[in-house]
Amino acid sequence: MERPHGVLLVAFIVASTIIHLVQAEDQEGFISVDCGLPPSEVSPYIEPDTGLWFSSDSDFIQSGKIGKIDASLPKTLKSYVTLRYFPDGIRNCYNLGVKQGTNYLIRVTVLYGNYDRLNIYPKFDLYIGPNFWVKIGEKEEISGQTEEIIYIPRSNYLDLCLVKTGTSTPMISSLELRPLANDVYITESGSLKSLKRYYLSNSETILSYPNDVNDRIWEPKFESEWKQISTSFEANNTNGFLVPQNVLKTAAIPANASAPFNITEDLDFPDDEIYVYLHFSEVQSLQANESREFD
């Protein structure tokens, strides 16, 4: 967040896997805020689908009004059902207590869900303190827009601000902060905006907490030119990134052993500096006279 608009760093994160039950880890340092949870509802509560503890946003913001997505929409996470919208003022900010110097994964979800019965997807900007983070509503994602950034606060407070850019009313469904190890995803300058994070698997399961103790979201990715390989043995994930076992236990190789292994990704921001994190874990048992080598 050192730099203004458009030059935030962008990460895309690749790994390889399958579903497997992992015992629930604790949620130490997690901040999980259900924006617009009405005072009549219990807070905190356990999100039934993820086991995450969510709290109402009433301690973190004084402005805005409470809304609820159209009840006829497909079932979604409880934390996305209610929202807070800001008809008044240009800039409305959540003020969160954080630990100075901690490497946080910050995630915001905006699910419009036609809460105002106007059927106009809102467009506005998100800022962290004075620094522009991302535009919301450009792609009008019906099932919700989730944005992530890895950010180290310089004080024990963090302002997450919704800023009006036109006629539409800013709104927010959930706000999540996850502390990460302090030696991972470190960049030369600024914060790291997440672009993609996937694991190479032909399953359709999206992984997050509790499979990932840091609650990163891993989408499956697989191509027809690939072949899946996997193991039932535990992987060594002790290098600080704490990549989930389910991600490391499955991998992809080219179906044609002499063909190149090719991962292609379209980028919206050709001028940005990109960090790519690739995680490798051997899943096949190699003989003493064998090794896996590639360029």
Ligand X SMILES: *[C@@H]1O[C@H](CO)[C@@H](O)[C@H](O)[C@H]1NC(C)=O
Number of residues interacting with ligand X: please give it, by CB under 6 A.
12
Minimum separation from the CB atom of position 221 to ligand X (A): 12
Could you give the CA distance from residue 240 to residue 237 in angstroms, rounded to a whole number?
8
Minimum separation from the CB atom of position 147 to ligand X (A): 26
Per CB under 6 A, the list member of 72, 167, 262, 285 interacting with ligand X is 262
**In the chain, count of helices (H) and strands (E)?**
2, 19
Could you give the CA distance from residue 76 to residue 88 in angstroms, rounded to a whole number?
28
Give the footprint of ligand X on residues 30-89 (CB under 6 A).
none
Per CB under 6 A, 290 contacts ligand X? yes
User: Please, which residue, 167 or 232, has the CB nearer to ligand X?
Assistant: 232
Per CB under 6 A, the list member of 28, 260, 293, 294 interacting with ligand X is 260
Site string for ligand X, 219-258 (x = CB under 6 A): -----------------x-xx----------------x-x
Per CB under 6 A, 259 contacts ligand X? yes
Could you give the CA distance from residue 147 to residue 168 in angstroms, rounded to a whole number?
19
Identify the H or E element spanning 246: helix 245-248
Integer distance in angstroms from the first to the last C-alpha of the chain? Answer: 34
Q: Taking Cα atoms as reference points, which of 227, 218, 216, 220 lies closest to residue 200?
A: 220
Contact positions toward ligand X, by CB under 6 A? 236, 238-239, 256, 258-260, 262, 264, 287, 289-290
